């Protein structure tokens, strides 16, 4: 926490302002449709941040994250439908199941070259989708195959995770995102973070220094899958209807990976930036061209990805940071005068 507060005060001020703006946003935006878009932006930022634990820091490329999101969503939903267990509890169970699944996949593959891990996660992602699409029910648990589950509607109730307005959803996902970002921050500055960074760049060199790279990758994988599972439950409760094509399968996995890479993988704010830039693109193309050109937003994503990777292989977070520095921080520094901390600025 100390480290967090030891930053440049201007950056802290700006972040505090942004955070404040996010919290009072619902006062300004009242249209539920617009609110839904904001919620989805934050949700995708959340998904991508959980992806970032593995894809950003561990130096491998997971391409099947929808499997863990789907496990979270289906677990809490099925538990709620059959036994009436509160989705809040189901959320934890789903997260734990997703983490277990992640460890099972990671155990054999995280020791191998990254290519194997990417292939294995794709296969698992597709495998889970095919499995869910083929199962009607397991004992008393209804899965409903490809037609999916619509969640029983209840009154506006906290324990059933169902609300009449979008407002509670907004604050819940905002809190979840902030927690994940804080976790990311602490992980980056902890022993695990340093080990992962070392292992991501040069696994052999890190192993030679006595770091068990695959073990720390496995820890990162478990954390990431657990958090992704929690996000899955939130998605299910937000939409109140889940089906395999929406929450499992390649499209969601790739969208998450694209957002992370375009925003900047291995950075804290990269996923947020990526979601902020890409979600509106996909919402807008879906609204205006959805019927005519069904795949347009994915073409745009792909093209943006290729161009960004060509010119900014580290993602857009770097150029945006430089731009913001030029626009705001320097100006604030000039206004702030004597108490400005960067001496380089004064020397100008």
Contact call for residues 63 and 253 (beta carbons, < 8 A): yes
Span from 20-28, 40-48, 296-304, 340-348 in contact with other proteins (CB under 8 A):
296-304
Side-chain-side CA neighbours of residue 118 (13 Å): 9
- Pairing mode, if any, of strands 141-142 and 137-138? antiparallel
Report if residue 209 touches other proteins, rule: CB under 8 A. no
Q: How far is the CB of 221 from other proteins (least distance, A)?
A: 15
Torsion angle of C-alpha atoms 290, 292, 297, 300, degrees rounded to 10: -160
> What is the rounded CA–CA span in Å between residue 22 and residue 11?
16
302's enclosing H/E stretch is helix 296-311
Structure tokens at 110: 């995280």
User: In this structure, are residues 117 and 225 in contact, taking their beta carbons and an 8 Å threshold?
Assistant: no
Decide: is 301 part of the binding site for other proteins (CB under 8 A).
yes
Q: If you search the block for the tokens 């693109």, which residue do you land on?
A: 281
Residue number, 160 or 275, with CB nearest to other proteins: 275
Binding pattern for the stretch 11-40 against other proteins, x by CB under 8 A and - elsewhere? ------------------------------
Does 130 bind other proteins (CB under 8 A)? Our answer is yes
Residues of span 239-258 touching other proteins by CB under 8 A: 250, 254, 257-258
The residue within the footprint of other proteins, chosen from 75, 76, 77, 109 (CB under 8 A), is: 109
Q: What is the largest CA-CA distance in the chain?
A: 73
Min separation Cβ 26 and other proteins, Å: 34
Minimum distance from CB of 113 to other proteins (Å)? 5
Q: Tell whether residue 68 is a contact of other proteins (CB under 8 A).
A: no
What's the full length of the chain, in residues?
A: 348
Query: Given the rule CB under 8 A, which residues bind other proteins?
Result: 59-61, 63, 105, 108-109, 111-116, 118-120, 122-124, 126-127, 130-131, 133-134, 202-203, 250, 254, 257-258, 261, 293-296, 298-299, 301-303, 305-306, 309-310, 313
């Amino acid at each position: 926490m100390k480290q967090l507060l030891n930053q440049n005060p201007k950056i802290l001020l700006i972040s505090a302002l942004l955070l404040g703006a996010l919290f009072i946003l619902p006062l300004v935006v009242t249209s539920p449709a617009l609110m839904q878009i904001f919620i989805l932006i934050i949700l995708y930022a959340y998904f991508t941040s959980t992806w970032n634990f593995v894809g950003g820091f561990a130096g491998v490329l997971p391409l099947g994250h929808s499997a863990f999101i789907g496990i979270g969503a289906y677990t809490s939903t099925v538990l709620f439908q059959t036994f009436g267990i509160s989705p809040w509890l189901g959320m934890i169970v789903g997260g734990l199941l997703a983490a277990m699944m992640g460890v099972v996949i990671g155990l054999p593959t995280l020791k191998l070259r990254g290519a194997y891990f990417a292939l294995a996660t794709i296969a698992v992602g597709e495998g889970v989708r095919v499995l869910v699409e083929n199962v009607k029910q397991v004992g008393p648990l209804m899965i409903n195959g490809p037609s999916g589950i619509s969640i029983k509607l209840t009154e506006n109730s906290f324990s059933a995770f169902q609300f009449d307005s979008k407002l509670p959803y907004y604050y819940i996902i905002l809190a979840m995102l902030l927690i994940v970002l804080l976790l990311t921050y602490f992980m980056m500055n902890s022993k695990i973070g340093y080990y992962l960074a070392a292992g991501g760049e040069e696994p052999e060199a890190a192993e030679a220094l006595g770091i068990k790279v695959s073990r720390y990758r496995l820890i990162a994988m478990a954390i990431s899958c657990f958090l992704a599972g929690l996000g899955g439950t939130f998605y299910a409760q937000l939409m109140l209807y889940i089906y395999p094509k929406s929450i499992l399968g390649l499209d969601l996995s790739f969208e998450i990976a694209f957002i992370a890479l375009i925003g900047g993988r291995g950075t804290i704010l990269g996923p947020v930036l990526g979601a902020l830039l890409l979600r509106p693109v996909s919402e807008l193309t879906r609204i205006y061209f959805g019927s005519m050109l069904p795949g347009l937003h994915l073409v745009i994503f792909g093209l943006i990805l290729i161009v960004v990777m060509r010119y900014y292989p580290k993602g857009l977070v770097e150029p945006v940071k430089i731009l913001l520095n030029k626009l705001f921080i320097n100006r604030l520094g000039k206004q702030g005068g004597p108490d400005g901390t960067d001496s380089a600025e004064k020397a100008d």
